[in-house]
């Protein structure tokens, strides 16, 4: 799964794709949620002046990306929801994570002097202060790599080896009770034709795969998904047994989305 704020220059293209309007979805800015309390956000005034002091965002706070600067490796974000953890609990977690003192926060008294971020207000944050493993996408257009553990061929019930299908386009949301991604995939892929669980050389053919499905993430880093699709490997004379026939893939704990 893909996602800013900026840390390296190559994120620019990913940000462009994420923020590009998608037919049927409108122009949707992805929403991200902090997994840890972070006191690294600098208030940006309506005139564009950046404060030297830092503001605190509790764990569970949600924000959207407004802009990013690849030269300074800094991003401007806007908060849409503020987490509810107490300051004492935040301080304890900051110490446990080895983050206390990074911005002068050493005691609860220090933390008391730090203002919390506000909703609908812009803040600047650097990639150095907010790493990718400290937040995750909760709502918005999502792009990544789709992989399958196996394919259950609907025509005869056989299991064939899984594969990496390439890029998917999805929409991340929580409307179904848990974080989930509804996705589509279409592209050139290498299709292994060996039966799952067997040994020997794999007969791999290039073809086009069309797939769609939904992947849930009820617990962080644990995915439950079901994907359906078809493989097309060439002309009508192609001897691949499952050419243009449907398949389903499903699993718990497998990393469908990368």
For residue 117, the model assigns a pLDDT of 93
Please measure the distance between the N-terminal and C-terminal CA atoms of the chain and give it in whole angstroms: 5
Nearest of 56, 62, 42, 60 to residue 112 by alpha carbon: 56
Q: Which of 103, 136, 169 is the last residue of a domain?
A: 136
Alpha helix (H) ranges present in the chain?
A: 11-19, 87-96, 108-112
Determine the structural domain holding residue 122 and report its residue range: 11-136
Which sign, positive or negative, has the C-alpha torsion 219, 223, 224, 227? positive
Same domain for 17 and 120?
Answer: yes
Count structural domains, the chain: 2
Q: How far is residue 157 CA from its own chain's centroid?
A: 33
Same domain for 239 and 155?
Answer: yes
Residue 130 placed within a domain:
yes
Q: Is the pLDDT of residue 118 over 80?
A: yes
206 against 28, higher pLDDT: 206
Q: Find which of 111-125, 172-186, 215-229 is predicted with most confidence, using mean pLDDT.
A: 111-125
Q: Is the pLDDT of residue 222 over 50?
A: yes
Could you give the C-alpha distances from 44 to 28, 33, 77, 121, 122, in angstroms and in order?
23, 20, 10, 8, 6
Contact at 8 Å (CB) between 42 and 52? yes
For residue 142, the model assigns a pLDDT of 79
Residue 1 placed within a domain:
no
Same domain for 29 and 125?
Answer: yes
Q: Which of 83, 116, 136 is the last residue of a domain?
A: 136
Q: What percent of the chain has pLDDT over 90?
A: 20
Which is it for strands 222-232 and 150-153: parallel, antiparallel or unpaired?
Answer: unpaired
Same domain for 129 and 23?
Answer: yes
Same domain for 156 and 243?
Answer: yes
Give residue-wise pLDDT tens across range 171-204.
888 766 677 888 898 877 777 665 545 555 666 7
145 against 236, higher pLDDT: 145
Same domain for 19 and 131?
Answer: yes
Q: Is the pLDDT of residue 64 over 70?
A: yes
> What average pLDDT is seen over the chain?
76
DSSP 94: H
Taking residues 153-180, report their average pLDDT. 81
């Amino acid at each position: 799964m893909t996602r800013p704020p900026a840390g390296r220059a190559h994120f620019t293209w990913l940000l462009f794709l994420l923020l590009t309007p998608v037919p049927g979805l409108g122009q949707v800015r992805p929403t991200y949620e902090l997994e840890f309390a972070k006191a690294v956000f600098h208030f940006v005034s309506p005139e564009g002046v950046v404060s030297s002091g830092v503001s605190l965002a509790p764990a569970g706070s949600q924000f959207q990306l407004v802009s990013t600067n690849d030269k300074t490796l800094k991003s401007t974000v806007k908060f849409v929801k503020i987490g509810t953890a107490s300051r004492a609990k935040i301080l304890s977690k900051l110490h446990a994570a080895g983050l206390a003192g990074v911005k002068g926060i050493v005691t609860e008294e220090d933390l008391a002097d730090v203002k919390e971020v506000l909703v609908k207000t812009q803040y600047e944050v650097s990639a150095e202060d907010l790493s990718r493993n400290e937040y995750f996408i909760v709502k918005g257009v999502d792009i990544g790599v789709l992989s399958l553990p196996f394919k259950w061929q609907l025509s005869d019930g056989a299991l064939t080896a899984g594969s990496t299908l390439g890029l998917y386009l999805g929409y991340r949301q929580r409307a179904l009770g848990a974080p989930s991604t509804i996705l589509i995939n279409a592209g050139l892929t290498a299709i292994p034709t060996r039966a799952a669980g067997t040994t020997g050389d794999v007969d791999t053919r290039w073809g086009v795969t069309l797939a769609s499905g939904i992947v849930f993430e009820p617990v962080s880093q644990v995915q439950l998904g079901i994907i359906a699709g078809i493989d097309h490997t060439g002309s009508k004379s192609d001897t691949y047994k499952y050419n243009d026939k449907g398949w389903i893939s499903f699993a718990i704990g497998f990393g469908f989305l990368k």
